[in-house]
A and B are shown apart, each in its own frame.
Chain A
């Protein structure tokens, strides 16, 4: 078997399978399009260099998330310019939605970004990446029951914010 071709195929498989999800995850974690893209590039660059160490393709997603989180953590080892923009990325392809639903969607997105990282990160692992509580527990190195508590609280906070902002009430004022 051609080892280099096999390596290429393995990498391509990872890129196709996880590239977009990793970007989405990075985007929600860092809130900045440019940084998210950079994190994904850096993650795949490192994955490419260390690909021979990935023996089980089933472990790839967790492996890549570990790389990405490490890269993101490094961002904070240095002084970092302020990041501001989720709106530039969350381009709404929501024109088919009713105004009320669009408003709710916008509020939900804003609310996700205001969640504390300890709630936002496990929630995005579950919702964006499809991780189980057990996988999140392993990725974050915390107990499964702690993960479940954080996920529960994350959702409760989001629901509470939506209710507090009175989505339906605001709709009539906005449109």
Chain B
């Protein structure tokens, strides 16, 4: 049984680039079908162009850098970068976030280290660039608090979506 125009338009709207032989046959069955297919193709070209957001410079390099790090590091080697990320750790540890041991990472330190590795210099360059008042404002927005003494030493707050870094208010 051949496809009616309404079915054809519906199919075009769902899978405009389908190579389905039945669709191809229907397309060539009448000028009306042919025109609908041509309009769908034109719209797809516009859609392709609209979604073609350029990937940020350095994205692939940043991703590749993930694999350059060893899966696990000897305990002794953790201390230097750990010290650099200390402010982040303090913010995570003291601001009311808790850590549930879970998938992939054994501890919050290891998790922070993984982020330090892939964020790398960006964290160091960003740290200490915000006044304490901004830090308090960000923490307030996240419904957590830091004492003035803690806020004073926080160099950077990185928003973490990981479910194991849950906020308890």
Cross-chain contact of B59 among A19, A48, A81 (Cβ < 8 A)? A19
Contact B13 A155 (CB under 8 A): yes
Closest to A151 in B: B14
Q: What secondary structure prevails in chain B residues at the interface with A?
A: helix
Cross-chain contact of A152 among B14, B52, B53 (Cβ < 8 A)? B14
Contact B43 A159 (CB under 8 A): yes
Q: Quick one: CB contact mask for B136-151 with A, threshold 8 Å, 1 for yes? A: 0000011100000000
Q: Quick one: CB contact mask for A74-97 with B, threshold 8 Å, 1 for yes? A: 110111110000000111010000
Residue numbers in B under 8 Å from A159 (CB-CB): 43
Cross-chain contact of B161 among A27, A74, A93, A132 (Cβ < 8 A)? A74
Contact A109 B50 (CB under 8 A): yes
Residue numbers in A under 8 Å from B4 (CB-CB): none
Contact A133 B60 (CB under 8 A): no
Closest to B162 in A: A74
Closest to A76 in B: B161
Closest to B16 in A: A155
Residue numbers in B under 8 Å from A40 (CB-CB): 59, 63
Complex interface: stretch among B21-29, B30-38, B64-72, B79-87: B64-72
Residue numbers in A under 8 Å from B71 (CB-CB): 49
User: Is A139 part of the contact surface with B, judged by Cβ < 8 Å?
Assistant: no
Residue numbers in B under 8 Å from A74 (CB-CB): 161-163
Cross-chain contact of A77 among B11, B64, B104, B163 (Cβ < 8 A)? B163
Query: In whole Å, how far is A52's beta carbon from the nearest beta carbon of chain B?
Result: 10
Interface size class of A (residues with CB under 8 A): 35 or more
User: Is B121 part of the contact surface with A, judged by Cβ < 8 Å?
Assistant: no
Cross-chain contact of A16 among B10, B53, B60 (Cβ < 8 A)? B60
Query: In whole Å, how far is B35's beta carbon from the nearest beta carbon of chain A?
Result: 15
> Given A77-B166, A105-B49: A152 and B55 within 8 A (CB)?
no
Q: Quick one: CB contact mask for A98-109 with B, threshold 8 Å, 1 for yes? A: 000000110011
Cross-chain contact of A75 among B54, B118, B161 (Cβ < 8 A)? B161
User: Is B114 part of the contact surface with A, judged by Cβ < 8 Å?
Assistant: yes
Q: Give the distance in Å from the alpha carbon of A90 to the alpha carbon of B54 in the complex.
A: 8
User: Is A165 part of the contact surface with B, judged by Cβ < 8 Å?
Assistant: no
Contact B161 A81 (CB under 8 A): no
Residue numbers in A under 8 Å from B67 (CB-CB): 7-8, 11-12, 15, 48
Chain B residues engaging chain A, CB cutoff 8 angstroms = 10-11, 13-16, 43-44, 46-56, 59-60, 62-64, 66-67, 71, 104, 114, 118, 141-143, 159, 161-163, 166-167
Not counting A11-B67, A89-B53, A127-B48, a sample of 13 additional A-B residue pairs whose C-beta atoms are within 8 angstroms of each other reads: A12-B64, A19-B63, A24-B55, A37-B56, A41-B63, A45-B66, A71-B161, A112-B51, A127-B47, A133-B15, A151-B14, A152-B10, A152-B13
Chain A residues engaging chain B, CB cutoff 8 angstroms = 7-8, 11-12, 15-16, 19-20, 23-24, 27-28, 33, 37-42, 44-46, 48-50, 71, 74-75, 77-81, 89-91, 93, 104-105, 108-109, 112, 124, 126-128, 132-133, 147-149, 151-153, 155-156, 158-159
Q: List 16 A-B contacts (CB under 8 A).
A: A7-B67, A8-B67, A15-B63, A19-B59, A24-B52, A28-B53, A38-B161, A41-B66, A44-B66, A45-B66, A46-B104, A78-B166, A89-B53, A90-B53, A105-B50, A127-B47
